[in-house]
Amino acid sequence: MTSKPFTTLPLPAALQQNLDALGYRRMTPVQEQSLPALLEGKDAIVRAQTGSGKTLAFGIGTIMKLAENESDVQGLILCPTRELAEQVAGELRRLSRHRPNIKILTLCGGVPLAPQRDSLQYGAHIVVGTPGRVLDHLGKKTLSLSKVHTLVLDEADRMLDLGFHDAIMKIASHLTSSRQSLLFSATFPETIAAIAAALLRDPVTVEVENSA
């Protein structure tokens, strides 16, 4: 099976050009199977191994819905570690190069809160962070998530392994129920099924086998 090109998706020309410039021409299987539903605004559970291109799938989904003339946080991406959050933020910055006003901020632990608080005051469209630090900012009211329309749980299995279940649930209680929620995971244990049932609404499920 040859994979479809990104040009088969209903994306703006500027984004198509940027994808092309970044060397992304054909979708990986996980992108091809998830992006149509993501772009329709559906909730999704996506299970696929590391390296299958999950970041681009939720990245395009999140960026497509951003209004850059609003300074509120509109996309929230939760990752298990600082390294992953930095990696995801870097990829989202590349994906949104055609819209240079989009601000993407990482909020991870292990560094002082104050500089993050100051950055938040200038506004951010997308926050990529670890659950503990995002929850810290919510507790201090230095972060508002009331305008978030896309929630992404990236590497959800690792986040649960690291004990972030309660933090994720508390963060989700700050979001509107009309949001789109996307859960990405390499494995699908019972605990993932449970958190998906709690946080996603009528999700589509995409599973890509390891040979992909």
Contact residues: ligand ADP, CB under 6 A: 24, 26-28, 31, 48, 50-56
65: number of Cβ within 10 Å: 14
Which bin fits 155, alpha (ψ -120 to 50), beta or left (φ > 0)? left
Residue 74 interacts, among Mg ion, ligand ADP, none and using kind-specific CB cut-offs from 5 to 8 Å, with: none
CB of 122 to ligand ADP, least distance (A): 28
Q: How large is the C-alpha radius of gyration of the chain?
A: 16
- Give the nearer residue to Mg ion in terms of CB position, either 56 or 143: 56
54 binds Mg ion (CB under 5 A): yes
Q: How far is the CB of 146 from ligand ADP (least distance, A)?
A: 28
Measured between alpha carbons, how far is residue 159 from residues 93, 181, 186 in Å? Answer: 23, 16, 12
Structure tokens that stand for 74 in this block: 């509109």
Q: Which of ligand ADP, Mg ion, none sits in contact with 28, Cβ below 5 to 8 A by type?
A: ligand ADP
Report residue 177 CA to chain centroid gap: 17
Select the residue whose beta carbon is closest to ligand ADP and give its number.
55
What residues line the site for Mg ion (CB under 5 A)?
A: 54
